[in-house]
Each structure stands twice: as structure tokens, then as C-alpha cells.
Amino acid sequence: MPRPPRISRSLLALVFLLGTTPAGPAGAGAGPVLSVQDCAKCHKEAPRDIESGGGAHKSEVTCLDCHDGHPPEKREIIPACSRCHADGAHFQVKGCLGCHRNPHTPLEITLEGNATAACMTCHEEPGVQLRDFKSFHSTMTCNACHRRHGLVPRCLDCHEPHAPAMVQADCTRCHRAHMPLQVAYAPDLPAALCAACHEEKAALLAAGGTRHKDLGCAKCHQAKHKMVPKCADCHGVPHPAGILAKFPRCEDCHKDAHDLNHWTVARAAPAATPKP
């Protein structure tokens, strides 16, 4: 039976060295493993920002969840926002840092330029109102009024009041900011707010002495601006049939619902003179 080949001591030593030496540059250049506590040793501002306004960046992730490496071993350590934020229309908007300038305080939002496209991805209802109910507001950018995220401006910052005593709460009783020309109101709207624009009618009511002056404007002109009710809606059939046959329209006698006591009777046309 042939004898197996003999292995020299030098060959055995070489095999031993190859088996115990780290192979390749990865093993040779591996540095120490970083912990979150190590980050704050050099980076003072970012941890301070996260602590004061990090939102979910404070409560849900750590430094190493976003920055998975450190130079010189890894050069590209600033992640794209889309690595975590990908679902929904808002995260398809380009240029995250245009509004969210500091990723460590993501809820501190700066609005510059035309931020409308980004705003509409979260605030859909105002966008629909501006589109479907055209007004001058429809031509403006969102941040022309909302100069800071979450800021709701006062109407009177731009608009003159209808009356000197009006305050912001009075404006919103009739006008919705994103569809301001669709004037609507509740039944308890004070008549004084209507009188600020409709001065002549208010003066007629005050001087007329009828029960109409004791009613709020919204009692008759219900819910929607420029709604003109029919007299019969409240008064039914107030006169005998003979009078109504001769004067079928209320306004034949009562020229103005705001001034009922100053009325004139419509005269019948004179009979035609017979030809000789």
C-alpha cells in the first residue's frame, strides 16, 4: 500500500497563518462600532434640535437609523427623505428641504415662494373650495395668507370691515375664507351686520313701525345671501279673495317689504274712449 505524501512543516505554518489572518481590505480597515451615545460627543446642535422639536424623529428613530455609517468608511451618510417617507401624495412633492429646512426639527415648516402644491396634498378641502367657487382668493398662493404653517390670519388684516365695530368673529359668521363670495349665515345673525351693507333697507325698517323691524334679517332672508322670500311663506293669504283678484301681487300695493306702511294702490288703466 503506497504511503501518503509528507507535508512539510513550512507548508503547515503557511496554512495556519492564512487561517488566522483577516482576509481582504474589509477586515483590515474595520473600525470600532458606533453607538448613539457616540454621536453627541461631536455633534452638539443636531441632538439639541431633536430634543426640542424632533417629533417622530426623536421618538421613533435614532441617529444611526438615518445615518448608517460614518466617514471615512462611508461617505454618503445623509439619507433621502423618501427612504422613510414615501406613501401619500405629500411625499411625492419635490424639494422637501424647501419647507422642512432642518430634518432634525421637521415640524418647523418654512413657507416661501409658491407653496400651494405642497399645501394641497394635505389640505384638500380648501383646495376644492378655491377651485369650485372662484374669487380673488383663488388667484393667490396659500402662503400669501398663511405665512407660517398653522397660522390662520384675520380677515381684517387685508380687508376693510363692513362697519367700524366689526371684528373677526363677525366676518366668519357669513364668509368662509376659501369661498368668500358664497355668503351663508345662521338664523340668529344680528341684523346690524346686514345693515352695515344694506343701509337703506335698514333705515326703512327702522322708520316703518311695522313688526318687520323686530325681525332679524335672516328670519326672512334665510341661510343664503340674496335669498328673497315670498310674502305668502309667512303671511299665507292675508286678504279676501275679491281684493286678491283685483291686486294679485303683493307689490301692487306694498311697494317695499321693508316699508309696508307707505303703500300706494295700483290704479286701473282708464277705459278707452269710444270712437265717434
pLDDT tens sequence across 152-172: 999 999 999 999 999 999 999
For all residues of the chain together, what is the average pLDDT? 85
- How many Cα atoms sit within 13 Å of 275 on the Cβ side? 0
Task: Confirm if 204 and 227 have CB atoms less than 8 A apart.
Answer: no
Q: Is the model more confident about 18 or about 103? A: 103
pLDDT of res. 273: 58
Q: Which residue has the higher pLDDT, 135 or 210?
A: 135
pLDDT higher than threshold 70 for residue 55 = yes
Least confident of 32-36, 43-47, 200-204: 32-36
Q: Which amino acid is at 132?
A: D
pTM of the predicted model as reported, rounded to 2 decimal places = 0.67
Q: Cβ of 54: how many Cβ atoms within 10 Å?
A: 21
Q: How large is the average pLDDT for residues 17-36? A: 53
Q: Specify the pLDDT at position 254.
A: 84
Per-residue model confidence (pLDDT) at position 30: 57
Answer yes or no: is pLDDT of 109 > 90.
yes
**DSSP-assigned letters across all residues of 156-198:** GGTSPPSSTT--HHHHTTT-BTTBTTS-B--TT--HHHHHTT-
DSSP codes of every residue in 131-162: HHS--GGGGS-HHHH--STT----GGGTSPPS
Reported confidence tier of residue 124, pLDDT bands at 50, 70, 90: very high
Question: In angstroms, rounded to a whole number, what is the distance separating the alpha carbons of residues 258 and 186?
Answer: 21
- Asked if residue 101 lies in contact with residue 92, where contact means CB atoms within 8 angstroms, the answer is no
Instruction: State how far Cα 152 lies from the chain centre.
Output: 9
Predicted local distance difference test score (pLDDT) of residue 272: 54
Which ranges of the chain does DSSP label H, i.e. alpha helix?
9-20, 24-29, 36-42, 45-53, 56-59, 63-66, 116-120, 124-132, 142-145, 168-171, 191-195, 199-208, 217-220, 232-235, 241-246
Whether the per-residue pLDDT at 19 is higher than 90: the answer is: no
- Range 76-92 average pLDDT: 91
Band of the pLDDT at 227, cuts 50, 70, 90? very high
Confidence of residue 266 (pLDDT cuts 50, 70, 90): low
pLDDT of residue 18: 38
Report the pLDDT averaged over residues 214-221: 92
> Residue 135 has what pLDDT?
97
> What pLDDT score was predicted for residue 264?
66
pLDDT at 248 over 80: yes
Domain ranges (residues) in the chain? 36-108, 111-165, 183-245
Confidence of residue 186 (pLDDT cuts 50, 70, 90): very high
